[in-house]
Structure 1
């Protein structure tokens, strides 16, 4: 049993901090940048956007992606067995598919053809200044993968205030985190800022130790009133041990901290780890051409590497994939009073490689086929993306605004197989031939109408067509069941109506959506239990998202996020009209934030997280009941230089599952973390 802070010790720590603590009251700030890559009031935008600003993020002090995002309406991030790995559920069931576009400072962190469902690990999420989630199909600025949501992790502003801040934190299960953030003014028109952090943990489960570093540096130069140059370098690196699934409900309830179904492999010496490496350099030029026209260009080079043992496959193959990318984003903002136009073009070229290796001879004891030791896949792919787009907004009257957008995407793959074509040994793995070079073209129309009921209220209706191309791994990492099958892109249609209201003390947002995905790429299993992918029929996704932030008093703020959704197959060959698995109908997050005037500098928050029941498989044979978890977080600004913070996650020590599925003929659980406590400080140097 791993050592953790005891509940009594955790409570004493929080009470000690709360007894002399304080923080700024949470404020409501409705400016976002994701929809158009320029700052705009969320109230004015005919799209559902959830966001968190710096004061709330400081209180959360997130160590995982879900701590940063799960308080936003309709957002559910689940952590996987590697602690830093994750899956995303926004307007879709929890899944590993490329339905989400992940951005760091409005620039994609990965290419569409090489989606990694752990992509938020490529962002500097634990040192974020703010975060925005644009739900539903993206605006005309975004193409493939921006189907269900676009998540934009934004850095601390380049020059918030001069000087540097050091931070340190410790907590349960050997958690330690250290960092330095700050900036200096070079002269009257330029500055530089940097963020450095290191986090490590022994892990609360066996074999879940991890180590992570984040680094970012930014340079901003306001050359004159018409020209600004920004340079940025972002680097992060993660090494995380991976635990497996707990097989069966009894193991989930009574052997929660065990490594699960990979115990024998670890004992045999297999290095079961997940390693993420990310680096990006970007240069941005903003130029005011005339009083009505502003030009923006972003050039970037990026490197991604993803190494892991595929613990979800019984034969535990090893993956090593790498992508090196150059990209260019060009955009023009044209504002002519009642008519506004945003037009641009995106370019990207990615050179990738993948090696998939069987480290030992595998003979199945149940499901799956035998796999001989050796290299299963070894291939290279060149990927090119080109997409012009345009969006027009017309102010029809003082109350009505009409918006329309078009985007045309061209995505092409050029594949080279470095091994013999066809079946690998006697296994179900198969290698595609080198003449498989598909191109996917798609025109995405968008249309919206906004009705400004008053200066503080807006209603809107929106239609957005979207798509997502197959990943390179789906095109070229084949199985014998679909060696001659070529996947088509998925086509999506999103219909949405929404209402927004902002006042000095309240901010409300509500949206009702209906999403149809045609030619859904679905997973099948052959007679031996091996998985492969084909285009299926339609899936439908419908729901409601509600969020309300209120300053109840000068000392008390509440934040409520709620969503209800239903996700179904439609005439599927295997699943008929069943509900999809891993899709809780109801998800809620409630926060009460208290900043007493009697104790200047203190902010304390209690939080309730609710996740409803969900099917464990697409055959709808069994449901997981869901869970409720409570958290407490406190921050105290002792002086202008020194701040203390503390938090207890899962205060009732609830036993719950991040994911609960039926796969390979057995129930599989990924347990959520037990009660954990953390304390730390920030000190301005």
Structure 2
């Protein structure tokens, strides 16, 4: 496991772990197991189609939190069972309806404790005794999401689509620890509780066929993102846990207009979008340096996306995907209502109009594809990926330059059952920062990976 580097550490040696010698001596690692089993049943008959996908999923994640001064051990696991089902039927040649439902039940366990006695230094120094438990709980999540979509024609050239989705998401939190406001290290333990998030999300679109090659469209979609269980229940001291019972789901409204065209050798997609997010969930920090999640009023994302593919020959094609966006706080008062316990002055900062942290101004991807005409099943892609500049903090006090790297990918279908795939990431072995931010007036840089080669096999039976 790595820690974020400060700027001088990154410039000196970006390959270093960024961890103290005493931490490296314990050889900290993250161990994860992931298994997913699914099956699909399909029925199709004339104007009727149905699909049912049941699935089971298991994930475990055990690690030492090396970024915390006391280095606690964290162990978690999640077991999930779910079902994705839909049916589609045509009323006539011009109208069709899809009705479906997504179901999931997940049971997760989370346990964090102090593996060894450790005394920290500096500000907020403390001695953490071996065996101290920070949290020990279980959370059950149940999600039920039925939806319906209808497609139809208004004229021969004008099509429409309307849809509606209902989300009912419920958390059942069970805490094995006693209830307390502070365990002596700034952690709070809350009583077992249930929380439900409900939302009805509409969507609609219009598509107009200009000619046989091109069309224009407009689209509206409403959606939500609910808080995670750790954001809801793994809280800090009572004084700084204002998010309990007040952390709401994010609600977004997306408006988009676009143009699509497919010519003999060139395909083009161009879109302009505006996404307004209400009650956006962002990270805040308390007086003890601990992070917490709060709703940040309103956030707006807007920009354009462009994609094109040019077929040079049956074997060669060139593809470009480019997105230029502006991500900003439409209205956000950081530390609203908070008072500095030392100076007794307000800590409020108006960040309305500022750009979001680590939100690049552009993302670009250029790919040169080769489909061999002599070796059947061989595909090779050379890729250039570029990320634009972004702000390192919410105050927009310092900007970080993005990066550009090159990758190489290859796939070879040996036969109907066996496929070999390989990839070389950062083929030029370039030194770059994957992420960079400022926290507590200190740079935190996550180095990008050096040149890495991957190879894998896919076997179908």
**Under a length normalisation based on structure 2, what TM-score does the superposition of the two structures give?**
0.85
1:578 counterpart = 2:336: no
Superposed displacement of residue 504, structure 1: 4.0
Superposed displacement of residue 325, structure 1: 1.9
Cα distance between partner residues in 1 of 2:419 and 2:109: 46
Cα distance between partner residues in 2 of 1:676 and 1:621: 34
Cα distance between partner residues in 2 of 1:617 and 1:352: 33
Equivalent residue for 1:395, pick from 153, 177, 185: 153
SS at match of 1:479: coil
Mark the CA change 1:636 to 1:449 in structure 2 (over 3 Å): closer, same or farther. closer
Aligned residue for 1:16? Answer: none
Equivalent residue for 1:319, pick from 61, 66, 74: 74
1:627 counterpart = 2:403: yes
Across the two proteins, how many residue pairs are aligned to each other? 438
SS at match of 1:265: helix
Cα distance between partner residues in 2 of 1:478 and 1:659: 26
Given that 2:232 and 2:243 are in contact with CA atoms closer than 8 Å, whether structure 1 keeps it comes out as no
* Structure of greater relative contact order (alpha carbons < 8 Å, 6+ residues apart): 1
Given that 2:315 and 2:372 are in contact with CA atoms closer than 8 Å, whether structure 1 keeps it comes out as yes
Aligned residue for 1:299? Answer: 54
Given that 1:367 and 1:665 are in contact with CA atoms closer than 8 Å, whether structure 2 keeps it comes out as no
Given that 1:370 and 1:426 are in contact with CA atoms closer than 8 Å, whether structure 2 keeps it comes out as no
Given that 1:579 and 1:618 are in contact with CA atoms closer than 8 Å, whether structure 2 keeps it comes out as yes
Aligned residue for 1:467? Answer: 224
Given that 1:368 and 1:529 are in contact with CA atoms closer than 8 Å, whether structure 2 keeps it comes out as no
Cα distance between partner residues in 1 of 2:163 and 2:373: 48
Equivalent residue for 1:438, pick from 189, 195, 203: 195
Aligned residue for 1:338? Answer: 94
Superposed displacement of residue 279, structure 1: 2.2
Aligned residue for 2:338? Answer: none
Mark the CA change 1:666 to 1:409 in structure 2 (over 3 Å): closer, same or farther. same
The Cα RMSD (Å) is 3.1
Superposed displacement of residue 597, structure 1: 7.0
Q: Which moved more, 1:634-643 or 1:356-365?
A: 634-643
Given that 2:243 and 2:293 are in contact with CA atoms closer than 8 Å, whether structure 1 keeps it comes out as no
Structure number having the greater helix percentage: 1
Equivalent residue for 1:539, pick from 292, 299, 304: 299
Mark the CA change 1:306 to 1:455 in structure 2 (over 3 Å): closer, same or farther. farther
Superposed displacement of residue 590, structure 1: 1.4
String of CA shifts for 1:227-284, please: whole Å, max 9, x gaps.
xxxxxxxxxxxxxxx12111x21210111111113543222x2x52222222233333
Given that 1:371 and 1:426 are in contact with CA atoms closer than 8 Å, whether structure 2 keeps it comes out as no
String of CA shifts for 1:168-188, please: whole Å, max 9, x gaps.
xxxxxxxxxxxxxxxxxxxxx
Cα distance between partner residues in 2 of 1:524 and 1:562: 32
Aligned residue for 2:251? Answer: 491
Superposed displacement of residue 319, structure 1: 2.0
String of CA shifts for 1:522-558, please: whole Å, max 9, x gaps.
2111122111112221111112111111112344311
Given that 2:254 and 2:274 are in contact with CA atoms closer than 8 Å, whether structure 1 keeps it comes out as yes
Aligned residue for 2:135? Answer: 377
Given that 1:358 and 1:371 are in contact with CA atoms closer than 8 Å, whether structure 2 keeps it comes out as no
Mark the CA change 1:329 to 1:602 in structure 2 (over 3 Å): closer, same or farther. closer
Cα distance between partner residues in 2 of 1:405 and 1:351: 30
Structure exhibiting the larger radius of gyration computed from Cα positions = 2
Please give the residue correspondences for 1:61-76 in structure 2 after superposition, counting only pairs within 5 Å. Answer: none
Cα distance between partner residues in 1 of 2:452 and 2:155: 55
Given that 1:314 and 1:368 are in contact with CA atoms closer than 8 Å, whether structure 2 keeps it comes out as no
SS at match of 2:140: strand
